Amino acid sequence: MQLGGIARARGVRLLKLGDIDSTNEEARRLIETGEQGPLWIVAARQTRGRGRLGRDWISPAGNLYASFVFSDFPETRVAPELLK
């Protein structure tokens, strides 16, 4: 897996991991140490992923498990627009 040219040109970085507890938890840990992104965190497998409402998320190898860290948008109300 690699970033596309547009993402690289905009300074987006990629952290590729094998097994991890959760890409969201890794993002949280990195943010707590000062990470501001933009950074994609991807893993081959999650051992403690979570779904909606905190439900366990089965995360076997062979799928995409990813979180995106960024801090460069003006208002939280625009966050849903990033998923279009």
The whole-angstrom separation of Cα 66 and Cα 64 is: 6
Q: Average pLDDT in the 44-70 region?
A: 84
pLDDT band at 49 (very low <50, low <70, confident <90, very high): confident
Helix, strand counts (H, E) of the chain: 2, 3
Rounded to a whole number of angstroms, the CA Rg of the chain reads 13
**Alpha-carbon torsion (10, 12, 13, 16), positive or negative:** negative
pLDDT band at 30 (very low <50, low <70, confident <90, very high): very high
Q: Is the pTM of this model over 0.85?
A: no
| Helices within the chain (DSSP H only) | 5-9, 23-32
User: Which domains, and CATH codes, for the chain?
Assistant: 5-83 (3.30.930.10)
Q: What is the pLDDT of residue 84?
A: 43
pLDDT band at 82 (very low <50, low <70, confident <90, very high): low
